[in-house]
Amino acid sequence: MTNTEYLNKILQQEHLDRDGVEMKALKDERDKVAGIINEAFEDSSPSIVYGGSKAKHTMIKSSYDLDIPVYFKHDDTSCGKTLKEIYENIKDA
């Protein structure tokens, strides 16, 4: 077995099926979190997207998490005026 064949075998074993149980659970959790944030900041209409390895399509079975960046318009202060306030307000929601 060549090094390339070996690495491809490892990558196949670590592949997360886009229609698999793990991905469905991540989508469901993202939808739940997005609903909470949209309800808490409904006047702001935040943009909520996938981030990290999910967005880059580099997730692996043995180690993954869900990064969900939330974006507000640059002049919107209803979510907070500082990064600390924004972080705390999102966490509290």
Tens digits of residue pLDDT in 38-68: 999 999 989 999 999 999 989 999 999 999 9
Q: Are 52 and 58 in contact (CB under 8 A)?
A: no
Question: At a CB cut-off of 8 Å and minimum separation 6, what does 61 contact?
Answer: 13, 14, 15, 16, 22
**How far is residue 2 from each of residues 6, 8, 10, 14, 91, measured CA to CA in Å?**
6, 10, 12, 19, 48
Tens digits of residue pLDDT in 73-89: 999 999 999 999 999 99
